[in-house]
């Protein structure tokens, strides 16, 4: 039996995850497959990667953003000091979507008896 599309059967949080991935994908595609990272964010996070990147190098899939870097606001600009990492807005949006997805999966469903 085929099931027709029903808006009520959508997976909560999945579109939010998709939006975060789309944001990151746009940054990667506009920057040749690399994610720009803000030096100030690296410093605020206590990450020593800035020392390597400052010399014009690339580390893994990141490079130090410049004033002319495309979509720089969507690059790695959010420092998280306790873990010494820098994340992009797309990472945060995708993570929120995962939280919504997991929370929705943990809810108990009540069944209506007919």
Instruction: Flag whether 52 is in a domain.
Output: yes
Are 72 and 83 within 8 A, CB to CB? no
Instruction: Flag whether 80 is in a domain.
Output: yes
Task: Compute the average pLDDT of residues 46-65.
Answer: 78
Per-residue pLDDT at 1: 45
Query: What pTM does this model have?
Result: 0.80
Instruction: Flag whether 78 is in a domain.
Output: yes
| DSSP code string of the chain | ------GGGSPTTHHHHHHHHHHHHHHHHHTTT-EEE-HHHHHHHT-THHHHHTTT-EETTEEE--TT-TTGGGSB-EEEGGGTEEE-HHHHHHHHHHHHHHHHHHSPPPPPP-
Instruction: Flag whether 46 is in a domain.
Output: yes
Percent of the chain with pLDDT over 90: 61
pLDDT above 70 for 18 = yes
pLDDT digits (tens, 9 = 90+) for 93-108: 999 999 999 998 888 6
Nearest to 71 by CA among 17, 29, 21, 20: 29
Give the range of the structural domain holding residue 89, as residue numbers without chain letter. 35-105
Task: Compute the average pLDDT of residues 3-21.
Answer: 79
């Amino acid at each position: 039996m085929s099931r027709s599309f029903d808006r009520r059967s959508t997976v909560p949080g999945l579109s939010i995850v998709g939006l975060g991935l789309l944001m990151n994908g746009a940054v990667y595609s506009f920057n040749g497959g690399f994610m720009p990272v803000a030096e100030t964010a690296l410093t605020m996070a206590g990450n020593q990667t800035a020392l390597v990147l400052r010399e014009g190098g690339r580390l893994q899939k990141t490079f130090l953003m410049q004033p002319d870097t495309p979509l720089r606001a969507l690059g790695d600009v959010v420092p998280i000091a306790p873990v010494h990492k820098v994340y992009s807005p797309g990472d945060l949006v995708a993570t929120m979507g995962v939280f919504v997805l997991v929370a929705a999966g943990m809810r108990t469903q009540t069944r209506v008896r007919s």
